[in-house]
Amino acid sequence: MSDETSAGVHFPADDQGRRSTTTTTRGVLADSVRGVDAALAERIDGSREWRKDYVDLVHAVTAASAGSADRAARIATDGLASMRRRMVLVDGSTEVPLDEARPTMPAGAAPFGTETVRGTAAPETTLRVPLDGRVLKGEELRGQLASWVDRQIVEPSFATAVGEVIDHPEWLTLPGRRVLLVGAGAEMGPLESLLSWGADVMAIDLPRSRAWRHKKGLATRGAGTLTFPVDGSGDSGADVVHQPGQVLEWIRRERGDDPLAVGMHAYADSGVHVRVSAAMDLLMDELTADDAETALGWLATPTDAFVVPSEVVEAARARWDSRGLTIASAQAPLRALGRGRLFAPAYRDAHEGQPGIADVLVPQQGPNYAIAKRLQRWRGVAAEGAGQRVSFNVAPATWTRSVTKNPVLGAAYRGAHHFGVEVFRPETVRPLMAALLVRDLVREAPVRAHPEELFSEAAAHGGLWRVGYEPKAVLGVAAVAGLPGSFARRLRRS
C-alpha cells in the first residue's frame, strides 16, 4: 500500500485523489487570520508562488498576532481549527477530518508490547554542560551564562532560568512526573539528559534498529528508566503518523498514575512534518482529555518569525548604530546595488517602545517546515491559554544533521560569526534545553501579558534577535563568508 493511501494522518484528497500540501498549508495559514485581518487572509489565499511568498506571509501573520493578546489567541485557535478541519485520518477506505476523528485500534491490529531498560549509573545531581572540551557546572556555568548574556547570544531570562536549575538540582529527576518523548531520538532532544538525571521516560520513535540501539545504550549507561513499544516481531518503536490508534492504546496502558509531560521532538522532511505535527496534536487532545494535569513541551526553532520585546529591538538598533563609519561606508555601495535588501537594519517597521518581529525564516527550509512549526506554536499558545502547563523554548542555531546536509544553510552558519551570531554544538544545547524543560514543569505557571511571551521568555536565539541587521539581509553574505569552511569540510569527508 502506498504512503498516499496507507492508514494514518494525511493531507486531504481532492476530486482527482491528489493530496496537495500547498492547498492545505496555504489554507490553514489564511484561516488563522481570517477572523482578525480579512485582507491578509485574502493575500494568503491569492498567493500564486507559495514557496516564495510564504516567508513574507508568515511574517505578516506573526505581526498580526503582535497586535493584542486576544488577536494572538484567536489566530492560534482558528489556525488549529482549520488544520483539524482539513487534515484527515485515513482508515481503510474511510477518510475522516481530524476534528471528527478518534484514534482507535485498527480492526485486527495487535497491540504493542513493552520493553523497559533501567539505568546502571547513579543519578547526576548537578547540571553539567559540555562546551569546547570542558564540562561546565556551578559558578563556572553561571559565568558562561553571563558571558552569553553580555554578548547578546541569549536573553537574560534564559540565564535566570538555567540558574534556577543550578540552584535546585532536586528538580532534575522530575519527581511526580513521567515524561513521554515523541521523536525521542531527536538530536537536540532531552532524552540523554533526562536519563542521566534519573527521570522516568516513555519513548516513541520510528522503528529503526540502529537508532534504538543508541537509545537503549543511553538508558543502560544512565540512571533513569526508558520504556518503549515493541511490535509483534520484536522491533522497537512506533509511528505516530501511521499508527496513532495503536500508539495511543499503548500510552494509556503504560502511562501509570503520575501526570505525563508530553514532549514533541519529532521531525520529518517536507509535508510529513506537517502530518506528524497534526498527528501529535490529535494525541495531545486525547491525553489531555484523559488527565488535565498533562503538560506539553516543544522546542522552537530559531529560524522562524517571533514577536520580541521592545528592549530587544532597541538593542539591535544600538548595534546597527555602532557599526562605525568604516563598515557603514563599505556596506553602502552593496546596499545601493541590492536596493536596500543587503545589510538592511533590523526591525525597520517597529515603532519606538513597541515590540518587533524577529524574522529569521529561512526560505531554503520551505513552507511545510514553517507551517508544521506554526501548528506546534499555536497548540502551545492555545494550551497555555486554557490553563495547561506548557514548555516551549527557543533553542539556538545548532550544528545538527539537518543543517549540515543543507549546503546553503551550512555555509551561512559557518559565516554567521561575522555578524555576532553563535552556532552551538548539539552536546551543549541538549542539557541546557532539558534544564529549561525541567524548570517549566516544576515552577509556578507564569502569568503573561501576551501569549507570544511563551517564546520570547528564556530564549536562546544565538544572537539572531539582537544583531543589527535583518538576518535575511545578511544570510547570503554569511553563506559566502562560510563557503571556504564548508568546502574544506566536504573535502575532508570525501
For 45-83, how does the pLDDT look when each residue is reduced to its tens digit (9 = 90+)?
999 999 999 999 999 999 999 999 999 999 999 999 999
- Predicted confidence (pLDDT) at residue 436 exceeds the cutoff of 70: yes
CA distance linking residue 74 with residue 68, whole number of Å: 10
Q: Cα 18 vs. chain centroid, distance in angstroms?
A: 29
Decide if 374 contacts 305 (C-beta within 8 A).
Answer: no
pLDDT of residue 476: 60
Mean pLDDT of the chain: 90
With 0-12 / 13-18 / 19 or more C-beta atoms within 10 angstroms meaning exposed / middle / buried, residue 222 is: buried
Instruction: Give 341 or 404, the one with higher predicted confidence.
Output: 404
Question: Can you list the domains of the chain with their CATH numbers?
Answer: 1-101 (no CATH), 113-309+351-493 (3.40.50.720)
pLDDT of residue 490: 41
Q: What percent of the chain has pLDDT over 90?
A: 75
CA distance linking residue 154 with residue 98, whole number of Å: 38
Cα–Cα separations (whole angstroms), residue 492 to 44, 214, 481, 485 = 44, 26, 19, 11
Cβ contacts of residue 232 below 8 Å, gap of 6+?
110, 113
Decide if 450 contacts 69 (C-beta within 8 A).
Answer: yes
pLDDT of residue 474: 63
What values do phi and psi take at 56, rounded to 5?
Answer: -70, -35
- Predicted confidence (pLDDT) at residue 331 exceeds the cutoff of 70: no
CA distance linking residue 420 with residue 429, whole number of Å: 18
357, β-bridge pairs:
307
pLDDT of residue 471: 75
Long-range pairs for 281-286: beta carbons < 8 A, 24 or more residues apart? 281/80, 281/83, 281/84, 281/98, 281/375, 281/379, 282/9, 282/89, 282/98, 282/101, 282/103, 282/244, 283/103, 283/182, 283/240, 283/244, 283/247, 283/248, 283/251, 284/379, 284/383, 286/102, 286/103, 286/248
Which band of pLDDT confidence, cut at 50, 70 and 90, is reported for residue 330? low
Which of 18-22, 230-234, 331-335 shows the lowest per-residue confidence on average (mean pLDDT)? 331-335
Per-residue pLDDT averaged across 104-110, rounded?
89
Per-residue pLDDT averaged across 374-399, rounded?
96
Decide if 403 contacts 413 (C-beta within 8 A).
Answer: yes
CA distance linking residue 494 with residue 357, whole number of Å: 41
pLDDT of residue 350: 80
- Predicted confidence (pLDDT) at residue 336 exceeds the cutoff of 60: no
- Quote the cell numbers at residue 258: 503520575
Q: Cα 265 vs. chain centroid, distance in angstroms?
A: 7
**pLDDT tens digit sequence for 438-493:** 999 999 989 999 999 999 999 999 999 999 888 776 666 665 565 444 434 443 44
pLDDT of residue 478: 60
- Predicted confidence (pLDDT) at residue 334 exceeds the cutoff of 80: no
For residues 243, 369, 62 and 21, what is the CA-based torsion angle, rounded to 10 degrees?
-70
CA distance linking residue 78 with residue 84, whole number of Å: 10
CA-CA-CA-CA torsion sign (474, 475, 478, 480): negative
With 0-12 / 13-18 / 19 or more C-beta atoms within 10 angstroms meaning exposed / middle / buried, residue 220 is: middle
Instruction: Give 176 or 337, the one with higher predicted confidence.
Output: 176
pLDDT of residue 482: 56
- Quote the cell numbers at residue 102: 478518534
Decide if 470 contacts 359 (C-beta within 8 A).
Answer: yes
